């Protein structure tokens, strides 16, 4: 049976059309104005043949048009496919193919990148032109109700093979995630949430979807600028989401100034969180909630710092309301094992990858691939991220993907990529390579990477060895490589 619910933006506009909805670089919109922009964009897309179930990819700055598109896609019954504007054209081209995108929207700043990625395969539209030429009235074809089971978004993440995977998120996944966080944060109309995480990441996108359902307003920054974020805090923000490096910068900039009275919570995620950082922030009066989640769960599913037990143990968190957590033991003495998640926010699978879907979704549980413990009091401790994953400034870097690019160079015989600690970014990738006798200098090899990878995936440095160290099963000993890299500094 189809599960239909009222469109959340229409509901909010009906109650209070003049209430603030969005403050962004190019526009400040009330709820009514946001709906008008979204419906105009939807109407313009309909005129271009984009409608129900169409897959709309986008390469956009984090600005008002990107928010309008989220709502326009829902009103059309279409699928929103946000793409990473930091990615290389070849990476985007692959994602467009996987998503089976029917059109790609780009703004002026990202048009050249999108054009190179789309080529002649996927039609390219400029979102500014669509908004400018939008009809004055919304056509009757637009949806007033949302099918909760319908596909809403394809968010690209990386699997353990290093190939980007399209996580399929339904409208119910987004609704359930917003509901789970509401159970913890107790939002109210009039709250203001600052988004300075990119909207092509699930953490940024989740802010857009949840504030609409909650009746809160959104302050949207297209990049993290510490002075601007600090000023916005003093101007009455109630919530914001950051990665650890951003919180470090914010605390340093504020130089001991206490948390403003309006601020209710800072959600912190995107990788390992130093205990000392949490302690410093909380000592200054900031309510920082450490989060655990992933694209496959439409945002966070556990949080630490919201109660006395998790404040006393910064490494611990609890499941959000509506989330079930379980550990599948791996036989180690500490009781650790793979973290499993169940709840309505768990995704529907990976686009075009039945094997990966079957591996991740088993018996109603999401097998995260992450290792942790869960005690009798319900305290979750994440011990390790996916085996070889490098999390750099909140961005996922999978060694296999970088190794494949390195190995494509004719002078590189073998490559192994691993993460090393970095004070600012948490970790950065480095690589060991086995090269031919006539191999060029490292700079040329790194240039080869820069042309094919997003900047944060490019190895910080290369080390050359005659052969890669392997164990008896033939697997590269990455721990030994990290040790040798530190010895070579």
pLDDT recorded at residue 137: 67
End-to-end CA distance of the chain: 62
Assign residue 419 the CATH number of its domain: 3.30.300.30
Q: Where would I find the beta strands (DSSP E) of 196-261?
A: 217-220, 239-242
Are 90 and 113 in contact by the 8 Å Cβ rule? The answer is no
Residues 190 and 255 in one domain: yes
Residues 418 and 277 in one domain: no
pLDDT > 70? residue 159:
no
* Number of domains forming the structure of the chain: 2
> pLDDT band at residue 276, thresholds of 50, 70 and 90?
confident
Residues 468 and 320 in one domain: no
Residues 310 and 448 in one domain: no
DSSP string, 375-425: -TT--EEEEE-STT-EEETTEEE-HHHHHHHHHTSTTEEEEEEEEEEETTT
pLDDT > 90? residue 109:
yes
pLDDT in tens, 314-368: 889 999 999 999 999 877 677 888 999 999 999 999 999 999 999 999 999 999 9
pLDDT > 70? residue 489:
no
**How many C-beta atoms surround the C-beta of residue 219 within 10 A?**
24
Residues 298 and 423 in one domain: no
Domain boundary residue, one of 383, 400, 426: 383
pLDDT > 70? residue 425:
yes
pLDDT > 60? residue 160:
no
pLDDT recorded at residue 106: 98
**CA distance linking residue 317 with residue 305, whole number of Å:** 7
Residues belonging to the chain: 489
**CA distance linking residue 284 with residue 288, whole number of Å:** 10
pLDDT recorded at residue 158: 57
Residues 436 and 377 in one domain: no
pLDDT > 50? residue 472:
no
Residues 366 and 403 in one domain: no
| Beta pairing class for 103-106 and 124-126 | parallel
Cα separations (Å) of 38 from 35, 61, 279? 5, 16, 42
**CA distance linking residue 100 with residue 351, whole number of Å:** 9
Interior CA angle at 460 toward 198 and 382, to 5°? 60
- State the maximum Cα–Cα separation within the chain, in Å, rounded to a whole number: 71
Are 41 and 66 in contact by the 8 Å Cβ rule? The answer is no
Assign residue 185 the CATH number of its domain: 3.40.50.12780
Residues 350 and 414 in one domain: no
| Beta pairing class for 361-362 and 390-392 | unpaired
pLDDT in tens, 162-221: 578 999 999 999 999 999 999 999 999 899 999 999 999 999 999 999 999 999 999 999
Mean pLDDT of the 377-384 span: 89
Residues 165 and 40 in one domain: yes
pLDDT > 80? residue 475:
no
Residues 314 and 178 in one domain: yes
Cα separations (Å) of 188 from 13, 193, 216? 16, 11, 7
Domain boundary residue, one of 366, 383, 400: 383
pLDDT in tens, 405-424: 998 899 998 899 999 888 88
pLDDT in tens, 116-142: 999 999 999 999 999 998 666 667 789
Q: Which domain holds residue 129?
A: 4-383
**CA distance linking residue 344 with residue 321, whole number of Å:** 11
């Amino acid at each position: 049976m189809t599960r239909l619910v009222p469109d959340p933006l229409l509901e909010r506009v009906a109650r209070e059309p003049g209430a603030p909805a969005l403050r962004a670089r190019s526009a400040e919109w009330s709820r009514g104005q946001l709906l008008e922009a979204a419906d105009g964009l939807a109407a313009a897309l309909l005129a271009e043949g984009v409608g129900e179930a169409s897959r709309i990819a986008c390469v956009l700055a984090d600005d008002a048009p990107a928010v309008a598109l989220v709502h326009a896609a829902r009103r059309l019954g279409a699928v929103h496919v946000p793409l990473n504007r930091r990615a290389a054209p070849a990476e985007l081209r692959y994602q467009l193919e996987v998503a089976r995108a029917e059109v790609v929207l780009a703004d002026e700043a990202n048009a050249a990148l999108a054009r190179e990625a789309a080529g002649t395969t996927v039609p390219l539209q400029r979102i500014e032109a669509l908004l400018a030429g939008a009809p004055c009235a919304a056509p009757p074809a637009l949806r007033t109700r949302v099918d909760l089971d319908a596909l809403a978004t394809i968010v690209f993440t990386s699997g353990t093979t290093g190939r980007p995977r399209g996580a399929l998120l339904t409208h119910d996944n987004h609704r359930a995630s917003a509901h789970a966080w509401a159970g913890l944060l107790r939002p109210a109309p009039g709250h203001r949430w600052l988004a300075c995480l990119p909207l092509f990441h699930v953490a940024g996108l989740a802010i857009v979807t949840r504030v609409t359902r909650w009746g809160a307003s959104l302050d949207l920054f297209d990049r993290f600028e510490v002075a601007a974020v600090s000023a916005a805090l003093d101007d009455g923000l109630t919530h914001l989401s950051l990665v650890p490096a951003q919180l470090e910068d914010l605390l340093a900039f504020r130089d001991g100034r206490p948390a403003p009275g309006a601020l209710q919570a800072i959600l912190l995620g995107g990788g390992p969180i130093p205990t000392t950082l949490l302690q410093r922030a909380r000592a200054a009066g900031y309510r920082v909630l450490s989060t655990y989640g992933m694209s496959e769960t439409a945002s966070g599913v556990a949080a630490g710092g919201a109660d006395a037990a998790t404040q006393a143990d910064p490494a611990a968190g609890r499941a959000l309301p509506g989330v079930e957590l379980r550990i599948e033991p791996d036989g180690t003495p500490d009781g650790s094992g793979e973290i499993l998640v169940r709840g309505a926010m768990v995704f529907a699978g990976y686009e075009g990858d039945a094997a990966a879907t079957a591996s991740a979704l088993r018996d109603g549980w999401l097998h995260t691939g992450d290792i942790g413990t869960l005690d009798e009091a319900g305290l979750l401790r994440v011990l390790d991220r996916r085996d070889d994953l490098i999390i750099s400034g909140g961005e996922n870097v999978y060694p296999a993907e970088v190794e494949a690019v390195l190995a494509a160079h004719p002078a590189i015989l073998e490559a192994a990529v691993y993460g090393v600690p970095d004070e600012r970014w948490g970790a950065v990738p480095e690589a060991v390579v086995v090269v031919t006798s006539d191999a060029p200098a490292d700079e040329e090899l790194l240039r080869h990477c820069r042309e094919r990878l997003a900047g944060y995936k490019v190895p910080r440095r290369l080390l050359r060895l005659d052969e890669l160290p392997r164990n008896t099963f033939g697997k590269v000993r990455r721990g030994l490589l990290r040790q040798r890299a530190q010895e070579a500094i």
